[in-house]
Structure 1
Amino acid sequence: MLLAEGNQSSGFTFILLGFSEYPDLQVPLFLVFLTIYTVTVLGNLGMIIIIRINPKLHTPMYFFLSHLSFVDFCYSTTVTPKLLENLAVEDRTIAFMGCIMQFFLASIFVVAETFMLAVMAYDRFVAVCNPLLYAVVMSPKLCVSLVSGPYAWGIISSLTLTYFLLDLSFCGSHIMNNFVCEHSVIVSVSCSDPYISQLLCFVIAIFNEVSSLIIILTTYIFIFVTVMKMPSAGGRHKAFSTCVSHLTAITIFHGTVLFLYCVPHSKNSWLTVKVGSVFYTVVIPMLNPLIYSLRNKDVEDTVRKLMNHLTKF
């Protein structure tokens, strides 16, 4: 791989501008993001613990949800601590390999989440359309295979994109106009032609979005048809209610990703990109456990019992 001579030195660094153009907002933004990150960690780890300790939640749906929570926790932890550091100190540098590693890990988790949501759509399809065969179809072996797929494809996609980033040369300005080492900001400071790397990123992003959305839309079309054929209004309401949380998570996640990566870059200001990046890297990992816990009686009962148990000590 052809790296610029500067890339090979241990002192090669990038500067993440983040939100430095708003000096008066550094402290308020730090407090806001710290609060969001705290809620994210507590929410996602709490969801994993709740699912593990409540036997009622030992089902395929909650098995997938626990992995979604794990992905959200890892994704947020990859990005947010560095964001908080840059808001707290004036030194906003990040080492070249540190930046590449952040991009590598973030890519794994965002791709894994994309297809984890598709897997959860398939789970809802089986539960609604084939309820009598649900326990047979969604066997532990199949569940493990369905969860392994998003992780494996996330690693493959990330390795591919990272390889072509490392093939670029970097010289001159090392200033990145963002708070996270995203693909677009890394190639923006490259002094070699990033066309292949940009094209590859666009193709992978489109493939991931289209393929996952095809799975989601297809499953929900079958779910909708099946539910509308139910004779009981109560049955229809119950069936739809099991899908509301998942549909909400899908809409927020895919809506943000489509806006950021599937719209031509020239139409987005850097501020718009930053705000969008904040939403899907910081805010969405916090929202998912809240979305799935609201109006969920089993989760609420487990939290209540856990809190009562803790207060006894």
Structure 2
Amino acid sequence: MVRINQTSIVSEFILLGLSSQTEDQTPLFVLFLTMYLVTIIGNLIIILAIYSDPQLQTPMYFFLSFLSFTDICFTTNTVPKMLVDFLSEKKTISYAGCLTQMYFLYAVGNTDSCLLAAMAFDRYVAICDPFHYITMMSQRRCVLLLAFSCSFSHIHSLLHILLLNRLTFCDSNIIHNFICDINPVLKLSCSSTFVNELVIKTEGLVVLVTPFLFIAFSYARILITVLKIPSAAGKRKAFSTCGSHLTVVTLFYGSIFYVYLQPLSAYTVRDRVATIVYTVLSSLLNPFIYSLRNKDLKRGLKKLMGKRQF
């Protein structure tokens, strides 16, 4: 990726990471390496379980399999660089590398967001309008929803990277984070960031909040419908299919809103904790949340493990 503004002096950035203490680097390396390996293995198992069990060939698990795939991509975009930095004295990243990491951070992250919205729509149709479920959640429509989620997210990410590429960086190059994120990078620019901040507060806010509002609306309608179910068993079954998804949504959006729904000047080092939650922890916990709280998926996992043992 070539910079448009050739007057920029900064050719690389320094990532401060999670800790500046030398004695913390090895324990942090072991911790995040373990989390990364568990994330990869856990999400791969979810994908294999879904595609090896014919009973899981439904729209809900179609989206879940791609959510697991994007979680693998999401954590791979950030954690390997973190692991290298834990063992390096010079924790630097090139200008092009920084923009590339940021591009995939938002492209894959927003794809996750759109997939969560698609899964909420699937649950809404299944519970609130079950007689039209087959037609409304046809294979063609699911593929179109997936294609829209990916293409829209990449266009959104490209817009912010092109605007960021116009800025000049000629003073400090120290990023107070373990990844290249847009807020700490914008704080380093010695040129006007008015356009960037305006786009973040308008287009960025719409892209971030719209899927969440769609999810909230879907589950509000689901809750109303479930409360009308006369049998307690029916209510438990409906809530069991939605509980794991709601847990993932809360974890993912809670941390993202904490980081991004605040003024640029308010961004502090403390936000790195919330950044870890949505970049690393949510991808790690998703397989466990879905497998522990979803009876159908637990059955699929048992079948998969049984095949491997055989």
Q: Fold match, TM over 0.5?
A: yes
Cα pair 1:205 1:261 within 8 Å, conserved = no
Letter matched to residue 296 of structure 2 = D
User: Match for 2:68: what amino acid?
Assistant: S
Distance 1:277 1:149 in 2: 26
* 1:1-313 alignment, distance < 5 Å: 1-6=4-9, 12-270=11-269, 272-312=270-310
Equivalent-residue separation in structure 1 for 2:115 and 2:201 (angstroms): 20
Once residues 101 and 217 of structure 2 are traced to their aligned partners in structure 1, the CA distance between those partners, rounded to angstroms, is: 34
Runs of 4+ in 1 over 6 A off after TM superposition: none
Deviations 1:123-175 (A, max 9, x none): 00001011222122210010011111211111111010000010011112211
Structure 1 position 267, deviation (Å) = 4.1
Q: Which runs of 5+ in 1 are unaligned?
A: none
Structure 2 Cα separation of the partners of residues 266 and 91 of structure 1:
27
Q: Is the 8 A contact 1:123 1:138 kept in 2?
A: yes
Evaluate the alpha carbon distance shift between residue 268 and residue 183 of structure 1 in structure 2; reply closer, same or farther with a 3 A threshold. closer
Q: Which amino acid aligns with 2:150?
A: Y
The one-letter code of the counterpart of 1:6 is I
Q: Which amino acid aligns with 1:135?
A: I
Q: Aligned to 1:107, what secondary structure does the other structure show?
A: helix
Q: Distance in 2 between matches of 1:165 and 1:129?
A: 43
In the superposition, the TM-score normalised over structure 2's length comes to: 0.94
Q: Where does structure 2 lack aligned partners over 5 or more consecutive residues?
A: none
SS in 2 for 1:94: strand
In structure 1, C-alpha distance between the alignment counterparts of 2:231 and 2:13, rounded to whole Å: 61
- Give me the whole-angstrom Cα distance separating, in 2, the residues matched to 1:222 and 1:133: 16
Distance in structure 1 (CA, Å) of the matches to 2:301 and 2:223: 32
SS at match of 2:190: coil
CA contact (8 A) 2:46 2:301 kept: no
Residue 22 of structure 1: how far off its partner (Å): 2.8
CA separation of 1:103 and 1:268: change in aligned 2, threshold 3 A: closer
160-169 or 145-154, which moves further after superposition? 145-154
RMSD: 1.6
Distance apart, 1:86 and its partner CA: 0.5
Q: In structure 2, how many angstroms separate the alpha carbons of the residues matched to 1:94 and 1:162?
A: 16
Deviations 1:98-126 (A, max 9, x none): 11100011110111111211111100000
Q: CA deviation at 1:218?
A: 1.5
Q: Which amino acid in the other structure matches residue 217 of structure 2?
A: T
TM-score (norm 1): 0.93
2:97 & 2:176 partners in 1: Cα distance?
17
After superposing the two structures, state which structure 1 stretch, 252-261 or 187-196, moved more.
Answer: 187-196
